[in-house]
Amino acid sequence: MQVALLQTHPELGAVERNLAHIRTQLSRQPADLWILPELATTGYLFADRDELARLAEPIPGPSTEALVRRCAELGTTLVVGIAERFGRALYNSAAYLGPDGVRGVYRKVHLFEREKLAFDPGPDPFRVFGGGGLRLGIMICFDWMFPEAARSLALLGADLIAHPANLVLPHCQDAMVTRALENGVFVATANRVGLEERAGRSLRFTGHSQVVGPRGEIIVRGGESGDEVLVATIDVSRAREKRITDHNDRLRDRRPECYSLGDAVRPS
């Protein structure tokens, strides 16, 4: 299958303009699955929770409905980062969309830095979404720091982890090679680029969107600046073969009974 990443520079608060740009970019390349950055429709550096609340939308909502229509026109699916309003809660979410509508929503579990002042942490366990012969897991940005996130998705049967991101730290792209290798899955990080400056704060996003294969190989990687469309052809069957050697398996060789800290003997 063809997986495409859109590395882009959304304009803070300009939802309609960002959506128009996304719709145009989706026409550039046929793909079975598109992955877009975190908060791709709104930008990232909100002044406070009140500003976030003004820009957040329900899912389904105007932005996801517009993108579902685009999926139907192009015969594709996509994962897009959205500021979601759900009742009184505000989530940093990713919506999995297809021609048939919203297929799933993931709400970011591990919030980064000042996100904790605006967003509510995602309350739900990680899950895998099916469709089109692909078992899809989703993480968002700072989830990369926690090996449990990718491992949970691998144990649930994910073939590919879609990873919308707004990365500012320099470590993630290298760490995702390990996440792919230790779990035997494809990992596709769609990062944004550009600089956001406001309210006395400045963030520069690191780009280098990438797709990593189940053996830790980098299939495609973008630059650190500028819009790009990156495409990788993947064989999902490779993610279902977990053997390392004739006698070792990434998941079956786990020893959960040895991982508990409760009865551990601690050094004196």
10-33 residues labelled b (16+ CB within 10 A) or e (exposed): bebeebeebbebbeebbeeeebbb
Main-chain phi, psi angles of 10, to 5 degrees: -65, 150
Per-residue pLDDT in tens (0 to 9) along the chain, 268 residues: 999 999 999 999 999 999 999 999 999 999 999 999 999 999 999 999 999 999 999 999 999 999 999 999 999 999 999 999 999 999 999 999 999 999 999 999 999 999 999 999 999 999 999 988 999 999 999 999 999 999 999 999 999 999 999 999 999 999 999 999 999 999 999 999 999 998 788 999 999 999 999 999 999 999 999 999 999 999 999 999 999 999 999 999 999 989 887 766 666 5
Q: What are the extents of the domains in the chain?
A: 2-242
pLDDT at 79: 98
The CA radius of gyration of the chain, in Å to the nearest whole number, is: 18
Choosing from 84, 115, 141, 172, the catalytic residue is 141
Q: What is the pTM of this model?
A: 0.95
Is residue 84 flagged as an active site residue? Answer: no
> What is the SS3 assignment for 48-77?
CHHHHHHHCECCCCHHHHHHHHHHHHHCCE
Choosing from 38, 57, 84, 115, the catalytic residue is 38
- Alpha carbon 13 to its chain centroid, in Å, reads 21
Is residue 108 flagged as an active site residue? Answer: yes
* DSSP three-state, residue 164: strand
Choosing from 108, 115, 172, 228, the catalytic residue is 108
pLDDT at 139: 98
pLDDT at 132: 83
Q: Which two tokens stand for residue 254?
A: 């786990």
Q: Which two tokens stand for residue 4?
A: 């495409």
Give the fold, CATH level 3, of 2-242: Nitrilase/N-carbamoyl-D-aminoacid amidohydrolase (3.60.110)
Q: Which two tokens stand for residue 40?
A: 């791709």
Total Cβ atoms within 10 A of residue 57: 19
pLDDT at 200: 83
